Amino acid sequence: MSRTGPRRRLGVRSLCTLAVALGLLAPAAATSSAAPGATPALREVMFVGNNWDGTADVIESSGALSKVGRIDVIPDKDQRLAEIYLNPVKLGYFLGIRLGPGEGHDQFVDDMYSTPDGTAVVVSRPSFADVVSLDLATGRVNWRFPVAGYRADHMALSPDGTRVAVSASTANTVHVLDVRTGAELGSFHTGDKPHENIFTDGGRQLWNMSIGNVETALDAPWLDWTKGDRHITVVDAATLTPIREIDMRKRLDDAGLGGLSNAVRPAVFSPDGTRLYFQVSFFNGFLEYDVAADRITRVKTLPVDPAASTDRTTWPNDSRHHGLSMSPSGDRICVAGTVDDYATVVDRATLQEGPLVPASKPYWATVSGDGKSCLISESGADQVTAIDFATGRKTASVAVGRHPQRVRLGHVPTGWTGPTRP
């Protein structure tokens, strides 16, 4: 679209803001050329998705994790529910999500990322089977993208902040969307129930992990074959054409680990991209995978809480441990021991775990803004907790909404404390 009217000269700050929006500069770089003493344009924060509440708490990215503000991620709830209740098929899946993955609750927010300019947050909403962009100033919906099928799941933001990949878990599809407009840029097929997405190689590749049918109660080891086609799909991030497919079944068998599930859950790459560390269904620990050699090189089994249930059908969505993050230097791995009610920091070189930090159903792990701590979401206690990478000790906790899961680093405008409506 062309525009007419008087031309205006862009100043340094305007050019920097434009560069941030285009993903050419990180926010910190964009504000560094402001006059000495000028207030930065953006503030680094953490977004915490409260899955059962339908809210996202915004907290400090480091330190005390104090609250900054809160966002209603389902401002259009009445409209969405009206559509669902008028469609018997949609209603069936909506109730199925509540009784299955939602553990008796609707799932209103799974994942979220802020835009590079800090004006909006993009959210995947499982029960509504969509992705929305919410204006951080007003809380209104900028755009909405209904995913294929009936449930939206994990997302990943490209390193330049222009694209977001979202798993459409009942359609075995990953959509890639334009963050600014919500337009679909393409999609690709996956294994059964796509879950985690990770951009790698500077954004040139996109990895998706499919986890199979975790909603069933057929959890006995001898019934593993009922869980479906579970594999990693690697595509070219620009064209979305397949590069390789990795079924961990053969790699596990070759490593003498035939008793473990091949459903890859949360995963994290080493800083140089040569090693992938990942959790699998029903296992209390994680594995190390050599990307170039295409083989599992090490396995770490972590302690079991003797008070934890041994009934696998009671574990949330086949998860025993669900949440991994790595220190920026790559020497420490933080693990969320979901069913065993602890988190711990593991030395990557020796695989020796540190103190077991008590935590209530920890469901995710990420890295603080300053890189010094691991942040876990305690979904059973409705709080986020920081654990120091160096000492393995808890340093801070903050109360959030009901059943926090994904925690993502992002940005809001400086001085922002939440949407304001007229």
Cβ neighbours around 113 below 10 Å, total:
22
Contact criterion met (CB below 8 Å) for 376 and 384: yes
If you search the block for the tokens 């029960």, which residue do you land on?
127
Adjacency order of strands within the sheet including 205-210? 194-200, 205-210, 232-236, 242-246
* Cα 151 to Cα 276: distance, rounded to the nearest angstrom: 27
Euclidean distance between CA atoms 293 and 246, whole angstroms: 12
Paired with 200 in beta bridges are 205
Q: Give the pLDDT confidence score for residue 420 in this predicted structure.
A: 77
Please count the residues of the chain.
422
H/E stretch holding 37 reads none
DSSP 252-294: HHHTT-TTS---EEEEEE-TTSSEEEEEETT-SEEEEEETTTT
The pTM (predicted TM-score) of the whole model is: 0.88
Give the bridge partners for 125, in sequence order: 130
Strand order in the sheet with 120-125: 111-114, 120-125, 130-135, 141-146
Could you give the count of Cα atoms lying within 13 Å of 218 in the half-sphere of its Cβ?
Answer: 10
The angle formed by the CA atoms of residues 240, 112 and 102, to the nearest 5 degrees, is 100
| Residues 195, 169 contacting (CB under 8 angstroms) | yes
Phi, psi of 215 (to 5 degrees): -85, -10
Q: Which residue has tokens 């988190």?
A: 343
Query: Cα(53)–Cα(331) distance, rounded to whole angstroms?
Result: 36
Tokens encoding 259? 């008793």
Q: Is 396 left (phi over 0), alpha (psi -120 to 50) or beta?
A: beta
Q: Where are the domains of the chain?
A: 44-413
Angstrom distance (rounded) from CA 379 to CA 394: 17
What span, in angstroms and rounded, lies between the C-alpha atoms of 95 and 104? 9
Per-residue pLDDT of the chain (422 residues; tens, 9 = 90+): 333 333 333 343 343 443 433 343 444 433 333 444 444 599 999 999 999 999 999 999 999 999 999 999 999 999 999 999 999 999 999 999 999 889 999 999 999 999 999 999 999 999 999 999 999 999 999 999 999 999 999 999 999 999 999 999 999 999 999 999 999 999 999 999 999 999 999 999 999 999 999 989 999 999 999 999 999 999 999 999 999 999 999 999 999 999 999 999 999 999 999 999 999 999 999 999 999 999 999 999 999 999 999 999 999 999 999 999 999 999 999 999 999 999 999 999 999 999 999 999 999 999 999 999 999 999 999 999 999 999 999 999 999 999 999 999 999 999 999 997 64
Is the domain spanning 44-413 CATH 3.30.200.20? The answer is no
